[in-house]
Amino acid sequence: MICHNSVPTPFGEVTVLYHDNPFLLIEILLPRENRKNLAQATPRRKQGNTVAHQKVLLVLGSISDYFKGKPIQPPWEWMDLSRYTNLQRSVLGATADISYGQLRSYREIAEAIGRPRAYRFVGTTLAKNRFPILIPCHRVVKSNFSIGQFSGGADLKRKLIETETTISGLAPKARFPKSTQVKMIRKQRIHIARLNKL
């Protein structure tokens, strides 16, 4: 039976789909996807889910902590990766290795898996990433550092990158409108000033 539980975030509700017995994560639905995909993804879902599985509580807690600036380690042993080939799994693994607040290009991920010309394959694989946030495909951008696509929408991708760069204090590399860049720089200065007072 497919179950689902959600966690509120600054950008809307994130929903986790999973099998409860044995426990296995199926998919993470971002705010833009929730209404559109939840009914389709869980035609035989448990109703109510008033008592969440202990392991899904840990996953929900990790997602909540992520939005507070804490890095996530993907719980690989709980994730259903059966739909991915070995090469696709290597793309997901290389993406999961990108540090909080850092960005990589599709080409750099292709090089990391030993297939430097397979950057389009990397993009196609990440478009099928069923575990956003846990596997941070939002940290992968185009070689010219323009934002690229994202299952949760380009706007959410920008916001996630902004959040990470603000908290980490690292300069953003992705290409944003000037107004957005100014806001990000201001936020970073405020964050650094607060750290200096500690």
Q: Tell me which residues are annotated as active site.
A: 137
- Whole-number Å distance between alpha carbons of 54 and 51: 9
Phi-psi region of 40 (alpha: psi -120 to 50; beta: other; left: phi over 0): alpha
Sign of CA pseudo-dihedral 35, 38, 43, 44? negative
User: How far apart, in whole angstroms, are the C-alpha atoms of residue 121 and residue 44?
Assistant: 33
DSSP letter for each residue of 82-137: TTS-HHHHHHHHHHHTSPTT--EEHHHHHHHTT-TT-HHHHHHHHHT-S-TTTS-G
3-state class percentages of the chain: helix first, strand second, coil last, to nearest 5: 45, 15, 40
Q: Tokens for 55? A: 């392991």
Q: Which residues pair with 12 in a beta bridge?
A: 9
